[in-house]
Amino acid sequence: MTPAKKAFRWIFGICLGLGVLLGLVKIISPESASVTWNGQEMSGIGALAVAAGLGAVFGLIFGLIIAGIVKLATRSSART
């Protein structure tokens, strides 16, 4: 696996994990976290889905940016 793929998977996994963690905190202790969607406070499985979805979207965006930077930094200068 290339370093760019590893970097993408790590960044995506971290962001998705944080989103799921936020959703689980909202389910377990609703007063501890705030998850809103279109101005409405979410609760239950809806909060978990919204938090995980937003974590996945941000993970994709940041993961692609970091993977691009890693790919540029690790490419070979020798051309054959």
Dist CA 30 CA 41 (whole Å): 10
**Mind listing the pLDDT tens digit for each residue in 18-68?**
999 999 999 999 898 888 899 998 888 999 999 999 999 999 999 999 999
Q: Is 64 helix (H, G, I), strand (E, B) or coil?
A: helix
Residue spans of the domains in the chain: they are: 3-73
Q: How far is CA 24 from CA 1, 10, 32, in A?
A: 32, 21, 11
The pTM of the full predicted model, rounded to 2 decimals, is 0.84
DSSP codes joined into one string, 7-58: HHHHHHHHHHHHHHHHHHHHHH-TTT---EETTEE--THHHHHHHHHHHHHH
**Mind listing the pLDDT tens digit for each residue in 16-30?**
999 999 999 999 998
